[in-house]
Amino acid sequence: MRIEHDGVGIHLRVAGNGPPLLLLHGYPQTGYMWHKIAPQLAQQFSVVIPDLRGYGDSDKPQTDATHSPYSKRAMAADMIAVMRALGHKNFAVAGHDRGGRVAHRLARDYPDAVSSLAVLDIVPTAAMYEATDKVFATAYYHWFFLIQPAPFPENLIGHDPAFFLQHKTGHWGRTEGAITDAAFAEYLRCFSNPATIHASCEDYRAAGSIDLEHDACVGDFCHWLES
């Protein structure tokens, strides 16, 4: 299924019946990351699993100097449009990694739309930057690599996407095979597209710039500044 919002097509999967539940994936993945638990969740919920803009089979819009097309605010607005198009005005949302940041922004910008929120495997972006030390910089090197000006990271990743993805995901999970061969093949299919590589870098560039500005704003004063 595909839903358009503000000129950006969002690819999604839907299944099940019951209260609506939106599941948001992380980096460098797609909505496919939920494939192990989605069938169980679909027994109780109307599950909606999109590819975030820039990822998977969703569109990769042109960026600008502010990186705002890849801000978490823009991604959250996509999700509101998707859920409303499906008839869901109020819903639960669970997000992992980058999806957790989108879920957090969605709950802040559209609190009346979110019935419950699960944010997995993140700490507020500003707190992580401010607490940076050798251990963090080593473990989260990609935060600082991906925000470098284009096309530096894009060209390096694009030279061997399979190597990069294996390096990023090969150690995930407490047991071998946490990421199945089928899942890795799907991520590689999508990450073999230079537009996906660029868009995912823009996601991180936004995180290090405009997302921090949005996160620092609270309440009506922030909206007045942006108007």
CB 200 within 8 A of CB 27: yes
Q: Is the dihedral angle over the CA atoms 149, 204, 12, 184 positive or is it negative?
A: positive
Q: What is the pLDDT of residue 115?
A: 98
The DSSP code sequence of 117-140 is EEEES---HHHHHHT--HHHHHHT
Kindly list the averaged pLDDT for each block of 10 residues, start to end, along the chain of length 227.
Answer: 97 98 98 98 99 99 98 99 98 98 98 98 92 93 97 98 94 82 97 98 98 84 50
Superfamily of segment(s) 2-226 = Alpha/Beta hydrolase fold, catalytic domain (3.40.50.1820)
In this structure, the dihedral spanned by the alpha carbons of residues 126, 127, 131 and 136, taken in order and rounded to 10 degrees, is -80
- pLDDT for position 222: 61
C-beta of residue 210 within 8 angstroms of C-beta of residue 67: yes
Q: How far apart are CA 33 and CA 56, in angstroms?
A: 11
Whole-number Å distance between alpha carbons of 217 and 227: 13
Whole-number pLDDT of residue 195: 99
Give all strands of the β-sheet with 91-96 in edge-to-edge order: 2-5, 8-15, 46-50, 20-24, 91-96, 114-120
